[in-house]
């Protein structure tokens, strides 16, 4: 039996579909299932039972069935929320409780960390665990993920296998419900379809021209391949970066969306809101040497190919994965 928290969300619902396609149906899904916008993500998918996230800790403590793996992808992920108590409750304390049950019941545990833990990137993007203390996240969301990483590393008792996945900029189907927190690919597509034009933030940092701020964009299908590989191998516990190792500009992203839509490129540059200027990441690029060192060999989808698949096969059709 496999458990997925955040199962009606973006990554969780795609993972559920991936597992179904691989023949796994004995799955417990956990989330807040009262949110109508997320329900389409789990329609037609196969699972054993769904459990509300408020009931899950008690279920986990009392459940006697063998659990092969918990994928803990449920979290408060809105980077604009400033309520530290909310993040402490759901991203930190809730995760600690699941970890402790995994220790007690000897359950392998994979959880979602985030590239937001790296802050402005001035300390690099190296997932060497000895370097984590120097990181300075820019918002409470990033801090909550960082604090759990540090707590997990400091625990003497650990699950038989565990890993924290520092996701970089993930895009792909099933993010329709995320609103302002959806990927830039999603927003670019909608802007272009509505206005025939894409608006990008101007740059306010030397060395970065307008639209040439850089991100490591990773397609959701690559994330799913890594998750399945980790499930099968269950080796080399620790924290690892989950990105492509290649940074691309927002201009390149926009051009790829226009190309997928067979439309001429039309990009304008707009002022960045003042409240974002001191919290904006101008560059992210995952160091994926640890991922390669522990044995993951599959190549990553290029930005242009990922966007083409996402736009043509999902966004234009309103389809789900």
What is the CB neighbour count within 10 angstroms for residue 38?
22
Cα–Cα dist 159/151, whole Å: 14
Alpha helices in the chain, H assignment, sequence order:
10-21, 36-39, 53-62, 84-87, 94-105, 140-154, 184-195, 220-233, 250-260, 274-277, 289-293, 303-310
Asked whether the CA dihedral 135, 137, 141, 144 is positive or negative, the reply is: positive
Q: List CB contacts of 273: < 8 A, sequence separation 6 or more.
A: none
- Would you report the helix, strand and coil content of the chain in percent, each value rounded to 5? 45, 15, 40
- The question of whether 106 is a catalytic residue gets the answer no
Asked whether the CA dihedral 300, 301, 302, 307 is positive or negative, the reply is: negative
* Burial state string for 69-106 with b = 16 or more CB within 10 A and e = fewer than 16: bbbbbbbbbbbeeeeeeebbebbbebbeebbbbbbebe
**Residue among 178, 221, 234, 279 flagged as catalytic:** 178
Cα–Cα dist 140/86, whole Å: 9
Asked if 77 and 141 count as a contact pair (C-beta separation under 8 A), the reply is: yes
- The question of whether 219 is a catalytic residue gets the answer no
Q: List CB contacts of 293: < 8 A, sequence separation 6 or more.
A: none
**Residue among 47, 94, 111, 141 flagged as catalytic:** 141
- Which positions are catalytic? 141, 178
């Amino acid at each position: 039996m496999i458990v997925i928290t955040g199962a009606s969300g973006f990554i969780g619902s795609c993972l559920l579909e991936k597992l179904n396609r691989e023949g796994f149906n004995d799955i417990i899904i956990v989330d807040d299932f009262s949110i109508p916008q997320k329900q389409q993500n789990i329609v037609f998918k196969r699972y054993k039972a769904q459990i509300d996230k408020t009931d899950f800790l008690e279920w986990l403590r009392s459940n006697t069935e063998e659990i092969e793996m918990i994928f803990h992808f449920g979290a408060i992920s809105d980077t604009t929320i400033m309520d530290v108590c909310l993040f402490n409750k759901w991203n930190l304390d809730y995760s600690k409780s699941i970890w402790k049950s995994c220790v007690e019941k000897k359950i392998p545990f994979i959880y979602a960390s985030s590239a937001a833990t790296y802050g402005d990137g001035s300390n690099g993007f190296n997932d060497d665990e000895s370097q984590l203390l120097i990181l300075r996240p820019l918002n409470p969301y990033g801090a909550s993920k960082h604090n759990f990483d540090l707590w997990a590393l400091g625990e003497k008792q650990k699950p038989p296998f565990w890993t924290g996945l520092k996701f970089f900029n993930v895009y792909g189907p099933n993010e329709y419900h995320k609103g302002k927190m959806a990927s830039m690919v999603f927003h670019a597509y909608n802007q272009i379809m509505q206005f025939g034009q894409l608006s990008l933030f101007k740059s306010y940092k030397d060395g970065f021209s307008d639209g040439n701020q850089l991100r490591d964009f990773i397609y959701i299908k690559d994330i799913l391949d890594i998750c399945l590989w980790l499930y099968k191998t269950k080796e080399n516990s620790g924290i690892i970066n989950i990105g492509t190792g290649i940074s691309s500009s927002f201009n390149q992203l926009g051009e790829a969306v226009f190309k997928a839509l067979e439309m001429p490129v039309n990009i304008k540059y707009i002022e960045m809101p003042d409240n974002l200027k001191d919290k904006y990441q101008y560059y992210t690029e995952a160091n994926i040497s640890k991922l390669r060192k522990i044995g993951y060999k599959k190549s990553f989808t290029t930005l242009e190919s990922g966007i083409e698949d996402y736009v043509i096969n999902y966004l234009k059709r309103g389809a789900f994965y």
